[in-house]
Amino acid sequence: MTSAMDNLCAMTIARFKDLCVDVSSPSEMAAFWGKVIGLTTPADNSQPLRTGNHHQTNRARPGTGEGHVTGLLEGKRILVTGVITDASLAFHVAKAAQEQGATVVLTGFGRMRLVERIAQRLPKPAPVLELDVTDQSQLDSLADRVREHTDGLDGVLHSIGNAPASCLGEGAFLSAPWEDVASALQVSAYSFKSLSTACLPLMSPGGSIVGMDFDNRQAWPAYDWMGVAKSALESICRYLARDLGPKGIRVNLVAAGPVRTMAARSIPGFAAFEDAWDGRAPLGWDVNNPEPVARTCCALLSDWLPATTGSMVWADGGFHAVGV
Ligand SMILES: NC(=O)c1ccc[n+]([C@@H]2O[C@H](COP(=O)([O-])OP(=O)(O)OC[C@H]3O[C@@H](n4cnc5c(N)ncnc54)[C@H](O)[C@@H]3O)[C@@H](O)[C@H]2O)c1
């Protein structure tokens, strides 16, 4: 009871800190009171309406409204992999997690100087550790290296994917050599297991592991062996959930709609996804807005989905739910 009261007090104080703004106009006053009562004001909701070819046109885009949630991840220690640019989905998860009160440790692959530079664009400084998920010695030392920055982990984000060029694009499925396919599967799917087991010594009941998926229940144009890797990832998520559930650790995937990132640009024909998505997704979709995906990851990293594991949670504007 005392700790519930403490939490309530901390959240109230955080809310009031958040509210320390100059209010000098009626619209600012409306926004202020919207914040006080935790609601979005009409002004906050005045987001651009969809311009796509969908038959319903008068809806705001998903994830663009200010939710004014604060402290969702207060006190959480989260390891975020997969930042390479400030467009990376992982960058936006790290940013949203910090904004929600989490302490974030990043891992980077290859271009460490670049990742360290990008890390400086986060709201708060975050240490960056090197991690190539195909390097067993780096995986073996990960827990000790994380311990230099934090005494444990409450959450882990796997936001890693790569496939050699031979695995993607027209004709790739029938011609890609096994060595390339094996690389795609190791980096994009098997590494979900490798990263999870590497982080396990740092985790305790209540922990949450989240991976980034592109729903591969059907064959897509161009996605080819990366799609197969995503199907493997979906299966690995279920097996991890089975084996880590008894330890109180949840494992889930966020199936994101297409967002313009470095990995997305490497997919030949990515534009076809972009064109299709906004027209079909009931909520609409903006390929330049990573925030709905980042928020969904934060929700899964929080304590608010305590009975959800082995699941694929869509953050795709509802594209998966409807036909043409
Ligand atoms: N962008 C999209 O439209 C979209 C949609 C659904 C799912 N996803 C998934 O989101 C995840 C992140 O991709 P993104 O779109 O943010 O692109 P991104 O290029 O920003 O991120 C991909 C990351 O994978 C890392 N990586 C590659 N090989 C690695 C290795 N051996 N060890 C460690 N890290 C390695 C890269 O360094 C990079 O940080 C991927 O799993 C991707 O498939 C992306």
Mean pLDDT of 83-91: 97
Phi, psi of 255, rounded to the nearest 5 degrees: -90, 100
187-214 pLDDT, tens digit per residue, is: 999 999 999 999 999 999 999 999 999 9
The answer on pLDDT for 71 being more than 80 is yes
- Number of residues in the chain: 324
What are the tokens at 273?
A: 């996804």
Least-confidence region, from 4-13, 150-159, 184-193: 4-13
Q: Is the dihedral of CA 270, 322, 67, 301 positive or negative?
A: negative
What are the tokens at 63?
A: 């994830």
Mean pLDDT of 96-122: 97
Residues 17 and 11 sit within 8 Å (Cβ to Cβ): no
23-36 pLDDT, tens digit per residue, is: 344 444 344 333 33
∠ Cα 48 283 322 (to 5°)? 150
59 band by pLDDT with thresholds 50, 70 and 90 = low
84, 156, 267: residue to mutate for ligand 1 pocket, most atoms within 8 A of CB: 84
Of the listed 35, 76, 223, 247, which one is catalytic? 223
- Domains in the chain: boundaries: 1-41, 69-321
The answer on pLDDT for 72 being more than 60 is yes
The answer on pLDDT for 49 being more than 70 is no
Mean pLDDT of 41-55: 33
269-322 pLDDT, tens digit per residue, is: 888 888 889 899 999 999 999 999 999 999 999 999 999 999 999 999 999 999
Mean pLDDT of 94-101: 98
Whole-number pLDDT of residue 60: 55
**Could you tell me the distance, in angstroms and rounded to a whole number, from the CA of residue 46 to the centre of ligand 1?**
32
**Could you tell me the distance, in angstroms and rounded to a whole number, from the CA of residue 97 to the centre of ligand 1?**
18
CA 62 to chain centre: 15
Element containing residue 74 per DSSP (H, E): none
Tell the burial category of 54 from Cβ atoms under 10 Å away from its Cβ (0-12, 13-18, 19+).
middle
Identify which has the larger pLDDT, 19 or 101.
101
Of these ranges, 50-59, 109-118, 266-275, the one predicted with the greatest mean pLDDT is 109-118
Mean pLDDT of 9-14: 44
Identify which has the larger pLDDT, 1 or 190.
190
Helix, strand, or coil (residue 238): helix
Whole-number pLDDT of residue 28: 41
∠ Cα 158 65 302 (to 5°)? 35
Beta bridge partners of 314: 255
Distance from the first to the final alpha carbon of the chain: 52
> Under CATH, what is the fold of the domain 69-321?
Rossmann fold (3.40.50)
The answer on pLDDT for 19 being more than 70 is no
**Could you tell me the distance, in angstroms and rounded to a whole number, from the CA of residue 24 to the centre of ligand 1?**
44
255-280 pLDDT, tens digit per residue, is: 999 999 988 888 888 888 888 898 99
Compute the distance between CA of residue 201 and CA of residue 206 in angstroms, rounded to an integer. 14
Identify which has the larger pLDDT, 229 or 53.
229
Least-confidence region, from 42-56, 59-73, 271-285: 42-56
Q: Which residues line ligand 1 (CB under 6 A)?
A: 82-85, 88-90, 109, 131-134, 159-162, 187, 212-214, 256, 258-259, 261-264
The answer on pLDDT for 52 being more than 50 is no
